[in-house]
Amino acid sequence: MIKTHKIVLVRHGESEWNQKNLFCGWYDADLSEKGIEEAKQAGKWLKEKGYTFDVAYTSVLKRAVKTLYHIQEELDLHWIPIYRHWRLNERMYGALQGKNKSETAAKYGEDQVKIWRRAYDIPPPQLEDSSEHNPRNDSKYQHLDKRVLPLTECLKDTVERALPYWHDSIVPSIRSGQNVLICAHGNSLRALIKYLDKVPDEEIVELNLPTGIPLVYVLDENLCPINHYYVAPDDVVQKAIDQVANQGKAKNLIITMNEQMFALRTPQIDANQLDEDFHSYNWEIFSSLFRHSYSHLIHSFKHEFQLFLRLLTSYHTLLSSKSSATIGQQLLQIKYSPSLQTRRQKVLYLSTFAFTYLYEKFLVDYRRLLPFQFIYKLFLFLNFLLFLRRGTYINLFERFARLKTVHDHPPSLRVLDYTYMKRELIWHTLNETLGTIIPFISSLKARTFMRKHLSGTIMNRLEQTDICSVCDQSIVMPHESMGECKHYFCYVCAYSLIQQSCPICFKEIPNIKPKEFSSG
Ligand SMILES: O=C(OP(=O)(O)O)[C@H](O)COP(=O)(O)O
């Protein structure tokens, strides 16, 4: 019987930088809340299937170290030896570290990002020596020769630096019959798999490893893979793999942006307008309360009451600790970031009310103050131009208080279906065409045409009744032709037939006369 070995590879649970869709590399990001749950779940799956380990290997980055810890916790395996080594670190992502993958795809193209993420031998641009991400300035690596510390790596480089550790430390443990667990990273594990499965350079591009799902490799006695499988339901695995593959797509931008995504200009303008509309509506209702009594009071103290209403609204919105958005912003799901926290911001906010009050009470009515009004309007205009250019600070208060507007929730991706729009377009075109054609159709001629082709019975019925041969209603002021036609018409209908022909018998009607009633 062939002697086999089983090793388990686990990519750490989701890190905080995975969550933000940032290139992470050697940056020491922590696990996100979800990542902690994924790590625990990995341990549970392994426990369920009866896995146990004698030794574990990981990198020196805390997202992998902590994932391993959570797995140990679930398996109650704190006593096994743990070896951490920089050679199991994630691929050094060079100058891409800290950049958002979707934004990078939007800037450089998805194809370029796929090359940087997945091409075997093309490294991303390297880190500057002075970069905060340069491992040469990191205390974790101070004991190492600076020349081995990379400033960027392609997968080939990662394979080359990870394999010595595989051969020197991990292989002996496997050969000695120990159950080995390796908890590492997306690309350091891809490097290992590339080597074990002898994946061709061009095929490794399509390999994506999900976070927190244990991958079992069954090796023969020469440590060649016989089989491999994930210890999780297939649909969970596939979904997680697709998610990793899609991280480099620009279209993810809208759904992966965190909630600090700045609001677009249009919602900001709309929110401003809604606030004004809300104030007008508020004032309308309030003043209508006193329409029949105390109206003189309302009229005399209009500005003071308006100030009171504005303050009341603010007290329940921006000035309350629960909200950082005006009414208009709340309706459009945007808000200030940071919220109105400092005393200075609150004072500035309240002074805008004082200013509005003074402006409306005095400036508008006094001609001598017109130059001030002009200066104020000029400021508003310049501020608005700046807002249009930069997309921030729609009013002077926001500018002075340095308040930016962000989306309350990440905007969701809307799927546009053009079927309805196409139908609408066809219907409108048809409507317009009919609307243009119909007025050209003479109803009289149409009716004449139809009668010409109607069967005799209907014709007879029409002739036998006392209804007008033109409008089909009871005859009003009956008239008849002065020619050969023997039909009767209302006066108005008959008048329209002069010099035309009768719609029933098609005889010409030279003129008309009132119907003569026989005395019998
Ligand atoms: O740090 C990273 O990997 P990790 O989350 O496995 O440590 C990379 O950002 C993974 O990104 P990639 O899947 O685009 O290679």
Predicted confidence band at 191 (pLDDT cuts at 50, 70, 90)? very high
Rounded to 10 degrees, the C-alpha dihedral 125/129/132/133 comes to: 50
Q: Which residue, by CA, sits nearest to atom 3 of ligand 1?
A: 186
Pocket of ligand 1 contains residue 186 by CB under 6 Å = yes
Pocket of ligand 1 contains residue 97 by CB under 6 Å = no
Report which ligand 1 atom has the smallest distance to the Cα of 18.
5
Pocket of ligand 1 contains residue 11 by CB under 6 Å = yes
Answer whether 153's CB lies under 8 Å from 116's CB. Answer: no
Q: How much distance in Å is there from the Cα of 207 to the middle of ligand 1?
A: 13
Number of H helices, E strands in the chain: 21, 13
Average pLDDT value for the chain: 88
| Residue 276, both tokens | 């004004």
Active site residue 90: yes
Q: What are the pLDDT digits (tens) for 333-386?
A: 888 877 776 788 888 888 888 888 888 888 777 777 778 888 888 999 999 999
Share in percent of the chain as helix, strand, coil (round to 5): 50, 10, 35
Angle between helices 343-358 and 302-316 (to 10 degrees): 160
- pLDDT surpasses 80 at 25: yes
Predicted confidence band at 500 (pLDDT cuts at 50, 70, 90)? confident
pLDDT average, residue stretch 46-62:
97
Q: What are the pLDDT digits (tens) for 265-308?
A: 888 999 999 999 999 999 999 988 887 788 888 888 888 999 99
**C-alpha–C-alpha distance, residues 54 and 41, integer Å:** 20
- pLDDT surpasses 70 at 411: no
pLDDT average, residue stretch 476-482:
89
From the centroid of its chain, how far is CA 269? Answer: 19
E-only strand ranges, 73-149: 82-84
- pLDDT surpasses 80 at 400: yes
pLDDT average, residue stretch 404-422:
67
* Binding-site residue positions for substrate: 11-18, 63, 90-93, 101, 117-118, 186-187
Residue 215, helix vs strand vs coil: strand
Answer whether 258's CB lies under 8 Å from 20's CB. Answer: yes
**139 residue type, one letter:** S
Q: What are the pLDDT digits (tens) for 449-473?
A: 776 676 554 555 455 557 888 888 8
Q: What are the pLDDT digits (tens) for 30-53?
A: 999 999 999 999 999 999 999 999
Report which ligand 1 atom has the smallest distance to the Cα of 14.
5
Residue to probe by mutation, ligand 1, list 12, 16, 18, most atoms within 8 Å of CB = 18
From the centroid of its chain, how far is CA 427? Answer: 31
- Domain 442-514 CATH (choose: 3.30.40.10, 3.20.20.140, 3.30.70.80, 3.30.70.3150): 3.30.40.10
How long is the chain?
Answer: 520
Active site residue 203: no
| Residue 223, both tokens | 């440590």
Q: How much distance in Å is there from the Cα of 188 to the middle of ligand 1?
A: 9
Q: Which residue, by CA, sits nearest to atom 14 of ligand 1?
A: 117
Pocket of ligand 1 contains residue 15 by CB under 6 Å = yes
CATH (residue range 5-256) = 3.40.50.1240
Residue boundaries of the structural domains of the chain:
5-256, 265-407, 442-514
